[in-house]
Structure 1
Amino acid sequence: MAKKILLVSVVVWIYTIGVFAQPHRFALSDSVFLLDGKPFQIISGEMHYPRVPREAWRQRMRMAKAMGLNTIGTYVFWNLHEPQKGKFDFTGNNDVAAFVRTAKEEGLWVVLRPSPYVCAEWEFGGYPYWLENEPGLVVRSREAAYLAEYKKYITEIGRQLAPLQVTRGGNILMVQVENEYGSYGKDKTYLAINRRMFENAGFDCLLTTCDPASAVKDGHLEGLLPGVNGIDDPDKVKEIVRANNQGKGPFLVAEWYPAWFDWWGAPHHQVPAEKYASRLDKALAAGISINMYMFHGGTTRGFMNGANCNDRDPFEPQISSYDYDAPLNEAGNATPKFMAFRNVIRKHLPKETVLPDVPPSRPVIAIPAIRLSRSETVFSRLPKAVNAAAPLSFEDLRQPYGFVLYRTTIPANESGVLKVNGLRDFGIVFIDGVRTGVMDRRIKSDSLVIGSSPSARRLDILVENLGRINYGPYLLQNKKGIIGHVSLGGKQLRQWQMFPLPFDTHGNLPQKESAALTGQPVVRAGSFSLNAVGDTYLDMRNWGKGVVWVNGHNLGRYWNAGPQQTVYVPAEWLKRGKNEVFILELLKPANSSLSALDHPVLDQLQAPQ
């Protein structure tokens, strides 16, 4: 059996090398895509390079091949590649060109989506935070300052990726211009500027747009292939594409949703495979090309989650797990949905195609109690303060993400309602170092009652940026921190100190137990030893709210509000022997024990604490 598997693998490898070793022609006919003059149906799955450890890209792509996919779709994220103005980064997990080349090595084509705006449940929809500091800049518009920065960005992306297009012997079949623009505006001149920028940056392969069915008319630019999002009825897809493409195809569902994402405090989204397998079958049978959003979601690590907010809904920051109930789960393992879709896809592949066997699930481990024996209060490691009469925003402080501690003095005998106008987004209030209350933008909580005291008191408000809005009408209202004034009993409090706490790294590990049990947030550290590595899930159900690092990797946020109650630790970031864990805990500073499970918990809500 082992010899048979090896032989099949070698045959597939030789076929792949042959397919990708020569230049190809990718073009359109009136109804289908043409690859080297022959009909080609795109069966694609979305997978984002920063949401998967670089060390695991290849394994995830092999899973894509095993499900029957021939293409990978990915956004490109401006705020990853230009985190500070004029400073570009294409290293490590940000090496998108390496991601594309790895796909080629694995026999996969790529649909590239490098629009400056991506949405993607990603911080600020992919825009770098510093755009908020550019005078007069208006994103997704013809405003001069925006177009100037956009041009610099797309030029750099072109340097990285234009050489990898199919027109130059690479595996990038198509490049998407803008992203669901019809849901935001209908300025065709702006879309034409986008197209010219892409062309000037070296993108000379097939250019496309994508929009929800109801917005294709506004988001499509004549001459580009329109992709349709969110529907899969073949007749409707063909009708919409033809109506916007001079009566012609090919027919592309640019985002097909077999599930959905989650946000803090709301139930986990799950959609059974049987609900979508027959729809996938019908679409493929009709010759529809499809990009599955998501095939594999992975994890939104660090502080890069976005948030939804519109006139009808409250502020909804998204969780760190981007499992998405996708066919390939957060850890890269096949789900029942994967197997159901594989069985459908196999029916529609060329007769000579042999699908690889589905690789076994990745090894998992559980870890017993880990003692976090070293700790410090956050207040004991404050940096130098920035002083101002009124609170300064994160943007004023040139700080992208994380936390800022705001400090001022409450005069003697002052009392009343403490109100934070413009809290963005989560605040913990302390009087003389003792926790007094919590404020939460999600539930429109921005006030609490403060009693009187005969002496002056120190007021601290620790504010967390829970993620900038990534979709909808409020993209231009995305500053963080305290963006208004703070009042007590109707009187503005003035003369503030701001302590930036970006936690872009966890900094020096605390060396001893020193945390005071006053309710102040703490940083805790500990270590654990492994004889063998595997994927694991830190169990945060008894913790409150915070961020976790393992071996220097920021794994993302946790919050007992749920539905996510575990934090995924990829095996690639663990090692035999000693491993370090570091936790920033905001609400339950007394906790000092942690364990890890061999499975995720993504579907448990808890009452606010």
Structure 2
Amino acid sequence: MRNFSRYLYIILFFFSFNTGFSQKGKFEIKNGDFLLNGKPFTIYSGEMHYPRVPSEYWKHRMQMMKAMGLNTVTTYVFWNYHEEAPGKWNFSGEKDLRKFIKTAQEVGLYVIIRPGPYVCAEWEFGGYPWWLQKNKNLEIRRDNKAFLQECEKYLNQLAKQIVPLQINHGGPVIMVQAENEFGSYVAQRKDISLDEHKKYSHKIKDMLLKSGITVPLFTSDGSSLFKGGSIQGALPTANGESDIEVLKKNINEYNDGQGPYMVAEYYPGWLDHWAEPFVKVSTEEVAKQTELYIKNGISFNYYMIHGGTNFGFTSGANYDKDHDIQPDITSYDYDAPINEAGGATPKYKALREIFQKINHNQLPEVPKPVKIITIPSIEFSKISSLFDITDRQKPTVNDQPLTFEDLNIGNGYMLYRRKFNKAQRGVLEIKGLRDYANIYINGIWKGELNRVFKKYDLDIDIKAGDRLEILVENMGRINYGAGIVHNLKGIISPVKIGETEISGNWEMFPLPFDQFPKHTYQHKDITDHSPVIQEAEFRLSETGDTFLDMRNFGKGIVFINGRNIGRYWSKAGPQQTLYIPGVWLKKGRNLIQIFEQIKYQHSVNSIDHPILDQLAK
């Protein structure tokens, strides 16, 4: 009996060690401190978003965080990732938020949840479902009945996932954020009163409480924007604030003159746009700021500790005075301490040394990196014009071009076609282009229009009987700023040639590419700049992560074994490769499918490293 008790103790000890912490606990904000089970606690967190990392790699990335010295993982929750269509919710498979949270607990990390409903995050539409725009009575981020009803549905669905995993129920969730960076939105939307802004943000807080959230709430804003962004009953935290005295002063003003003090987003890297240089932040700068926070007892969250990838059509876009749109690249590497493929960077190693100095115990060993492989040249045996597909579809016909939203597609492409009974010559103008288009006459390429470069017109010569085709790509909805409320895609204004508005008999062919089109690939004649779909099989004797080399291609998307791994735009850069997770490859037969808009190639290969900082010449 004594031996049985001894073995039982060993089994229970082993189980508790390998599952992190599983007892009910308490996390609170009291007397100016974060208290974990009654003792002062400093949050050393890293942000990692589960949709940007294959689920098979979640544990590895979290172990990397733990080995660096962090005690918490923070994640946004993306509303549009889970509500796939109105009322159709998915929290399974790659979208299993509970599994992500439980994995953190197993590794020994606490969890902070940032559910929005608005999240920014360089994510399509800031996390909002695109179809919210179809309701003409709804305005996002506002005290609007129709919008708040949708928010409440979302937060109630989310609560089912996270309420049972709060620390007081034995889970690792210690805090939840209310709204996100609302102060900057308030500053930009001066057409709305501060009182109305506050009514809206406090209603979001009330919804979270009503849904069953009992852990502390917090807000996250630039430290000069607390007036608009702070919410009574939620701890204000500052984004990007490096000055300790400024941090404390602003938090004190909106938190009864006391802490705790937290930087909810400290940036060890930065986001990146197509056609703009890849942004880097030095290791020395990040290490110095980290030491300053630690020395002053400041809690903080690295945004990002590990960025991952904007798979599929999930990347969003920004804009500024010089750019009508700045689409985010597919890689979300972010120059983060843990790179896109989960590897330790020099920045990671420097930070680990800092955390080891303040840790009484030896930090865990850094996990081994995922194996990297290369794939030799894959020859495309099947190539066909995209027009072969649209020619077999039945179009929607309307007097004016319709938007993506009008035709119930959120992402991808739309082909607009019109036949002309009489000649038209002059400047083709599409001021309402959203976002990128190639122009064809009778299937022959005539030029490119591009919202990124503010190019909205093109000289054109159409003869009687000609067919004009405009292939439009949605490059991601705006995710930050006041412009987020203007996010329709496709062609959203009349098309003109000269001063003449072209109306009547517009044909539209939606091409959402939610899956790659099935095709017989019998087309032989591919002209220059023709949009093509191409397909090939390749075999692997081993699997591993790899980077598809797209430098010889132009612009398009790639599917691997049925998964859309993202957009490339080699003609612009700076990203020239696409990350392929090894867990999405198979020993034996694999399938690659590419939609290329402007410069197709007969073969493709992969290399053993990413190219993320090479702008096109």
Assess if the C-alpha contact under 8 Å between 1:310 and 1:472 holds in 2: no
Query: Matches of 2:146 and 2:525 in 1, distance apart?
Result: 47
- Aligned partner of 1:412 in structure 2 is 422
- Aligned partner of 1:573 in structure 2 is 584
Give the C-alpha shift of residue 96 in structure 1: 1.1
Give the C-alpha shift of residue 59 in structure 1: 0.8
- Aligned partner of 1:106 in structure 2 is 107
- Aligned partner of 1:314 in structure 2 is 324
* Matched residue SS, 1:555: strand
* Matched residue SS, 2:452: helix
Query: Matches of 1:204 and 1:359 in 2, distance apart?
Result: 34
Equivalent runs, 1:414-433 vs 2, <5 Å? 414-433=424-443
- Aligned partner of 2:387 in structure 1 is 379
Query: Matches of 1:391 and 1:313 in 2, distance apart?
Result: 24
Deviations 1:366-422 (A, max 9, x none): 111110110121111123211111000000001000000000123322211111130
- Aligned partner of 1:582 in structure 2 is 593
- Aligned partner of 2:347 in structure 1 is 337
Assess if the C-alpha contact under 8 Å between 2:273 and 2:327 holds in 1: yes
Give the C-alpha shift of residue 239 in structure 1: 1.7
Assess if the C-alpha contact under 8 Å between 2:16 and 2:22 holds in 1: no
Equivalent runs, 1:269-288 vs 2, <5 Å? 269-288=279-298
Q: Which runs of 5+ in 1 are unaligned?
A: 1-9
- Aligned partner of 1:6 in structure 2 is none
Structure 1 residue identity aligned to 2:310? T
Deviations 1:176-200 (A, max 9, x none): 0000000011422212111110011
Query: Matches of 2:126 and 2:289 in 1, distance apart?
Result: 29
Equivalent runs, 1:233-312 vs 2, <5 Å? 233-311=243-321
Equivalent runs, 1:342-421 vs 2, <5 Å? 342-349=352-359, 351=360, 353-382=361-390, 383-421=393-431
- Aligned partner of 2:498 in structure 1 is 489
Verify: 1:508 aligned to 2:518, yes or no. Answer: yes
Verify: 1:479 aligned to 2:488, yes or no. Answer: yes
Assess if the C-alpha contact under 8 Å between 1:408 and 1:493 holds in 2: no
Query: Matches of 1:490 and 1:417 in 2, distance apart?
Result: 9
Give the C-alpha shift of residue 18 in structure 1: 7.4
Query: Matches of 1:307 and 1:397 in 2, distance apart?
Result: 22
Structure 1 residue identity aligned to 2:48? M
Structure 2 residue identity aligned to 1:459? L
- Aligned partner of 2:174 in structure 1 is 173
Query: Matches of 1:511 and 1:528 in 2, distance apart?
Result: 18
Q: Which runs of 5+ in 2 are unaligned?
A: 1-10, 187-193
Deviations 1:141-188 (A, max 9, x none): 111110111111111111121111112111100000000000011422
Structure 2 residue identity aligned to 1:199? L
Query: Matches of 1:149 and 1:468 in 2, distance apart?
Result: 19
Deviations 1:475-518 (A, max 9, x none): 11000000001111221112201000000011325555635225
* Matched residue SS, 2:46: strand
Deviations 1:510-546 (A, max 9, x none): 5556352253201101121111111100000010000
Assess if the C-alpha contact under 8 Å between 1:405 and 1:460 holds in 2: yes
Of 178-187 and 461-470, deviating more is: 178-187
Of 507-516 and 241-250, deviating more is: 507-516
- Aligned partner of 1:194 in structure 2 is 204
Verify: 1:460 aligned to 2:469, yes or no. Answer: yes
Query: Matches of 2:552 and 2:12 in 1, distance apart?
Result: 51
Equivalent runs, 1:89-128 vs 2, <5 Å? 89-128=90-129
Query: Matches of 2:149 and 2:532 in 1, distance apart?
Result: 43
Query: Matches of 1:489 and 1:47 in 2, distance apart?
Result: 50
Assess if the C-alpha contact under 8 Å between 1:310 and 1:473 holds in 2: no
Q: Given the superposition, is the C-alpha separation of residues 165 and 55 from structure 1 closer, same or farther in structure 2, using an over 3 Å criterion?
A: same
Query: Matches of 2:103 and 2:367 in 1, distance apart?
Result: 18
Assess if the C-alpha contact under 8 Å between 1:227 and 1:251 holds in 2: yes
* Matched residue SS, 2:513: coil
- Aligned partner of 1:563 in structure 2 is 574
Query: Matches of 1:488 and 1:97 in 2, distance apart?
Result: 54
Give the C-alpha shift of residue 14 in structure 1: 6.1
Query: Matches of 1:486 and 1:597 in 2, distance apart?
Result: 43
* Equivalent pairs, count: 594
Structure 2 residue identity aligned to 1:479? L
Query: Matches of 1:414 and 1:395 in 2, distance apart?
Result: 29
RMSD of aligned Cα (Å): 1.6
Assess if the C-alpha contact under 8 Å between 2:528 and 2:599 holds in 1: no
Deviations 1:80-139 (A, max 9, x none): 111211111112211111111111111111000011100000000000000110122111
Structure 2 residue identity aligned to 1:116? P
Assess if the C-alpha contact under 8 Å between 2:27 and 2:37 holds in 1: yes
Structure 1 residue identity aligned to 2:496? S
Give the C-alpha shift of residue 15 in structure 1: 6.4
Assess if the C-alpha contact under 8 Å between 1:545 and 1:587 holds in 2: yes
Verify: 1:138 aligned to 2:139, yes or no. Answer: yes
- Aligned partner of 2:223 in structure 1 is 213
Give the C-alpha shift of residue 452 in structure 1: 4.9
* Matched residue SS, 2:377: strand
- Aligned partner of 2:3 in structure 1 is none
Structure 2 residue identity aligned to 1:106? V
* Matched residue SS, 1:605: coil
Query: Matches of 2:476 and 2:521 in 1, distance apart?
Result: 31
Query: Matches of 1:323 and 1:181 in 2, distance apart?
Result: 25
* Matched residue SS, 1:242: helix
Query: Percentage identity across aligned positions?
Result: 45
* Matched residue SS, 1:492: strand
- TM-score, reference length from structure 2: 0.94
Q: Given the superposition, is the C-alpha separation of residues 409 and 243 from structure 1 closer, same or farther in structure 2, using an over 3 Å criterion?
A: same
* Matched residue SS, 1:475: helix
Query: Matches of 1:89 and 1:18 in 2, distance apart?
Result: 26
- TM-score, reference length from structure 1: 0.95
Assess if the C-alpha contact under 8 Å between 1:521 and 1:585 holds in 2: yes
Structure 1 residue identity aligned to 2:397? N
- Aligned partner of 2:5 in structure 1 is none
Give the C-alpha shift of residue 29 in structure 1: 2.8
Query: Matches of 1:296 and 1:531 in 2, distance apart?
Result: 29
Q: Given the superposition, is the C-alpha separation of residues 340 and 370 from structure 1 closer, same or farther in structure 2, using an over 3 Å criterion?
A: same
Deviations 1:537-581 (A, max 9, x none): 000001000000111111100001100000000111111111110
* Matched residue SS, 1:145: helix
Q: Given the superposition, is the C-alpha separation of residues 191 and 321 from structure 1 closer, same or farther in structure 2, using an over 3 Å criterion?
A: same
* Matched residue SS, 2:309: coil
- Aligned partner of 1:129 in structure 2 is 130
* Matched residue SS, 1:520: coil
Give the C-alpha shift of residue 17 in structure 1: 4.7
Structure 2 residue identity aligned to 1:377? S
Assess if the C-alpha contact under 8 Å between 1:378 and 1:521 holds in 2: yes
Query: Matches of 1:512 and 1:409 in 2, distance apart?
Result: 26
Structure 2 residue identity aligned to 1:547? I
Query: Matches of 2:13 and 2:509 in 1, distance apart?
Result: 57
* Matched residue SS, 2:369: coil
Verify: 1:163 aligned to 2:171, yes or no. Answer: no
Q: Given the superposition, is the C-alpha separation of residues 514 and 103 from structure 1 closer, same or farther in structure 2, using an over 3 Å criterion?
A: farther
Q: Given the superposition, is the C-alpha separation of residues 562 and 30 from structure 1 closer, same or farther in structure 2, using an over 3 Å criterion?
A: same
Give the C-alpha shift of residue 232 in structure 1: 2.7
Q: Given the superposition, is the C-alpha separation of residues 156 and 515 from structure 1 closer, same or farther in structure 2, using an over 3 Å criterion?
A: farther
Give the C-alpha shift of residue 233 in structure 1: 2.7
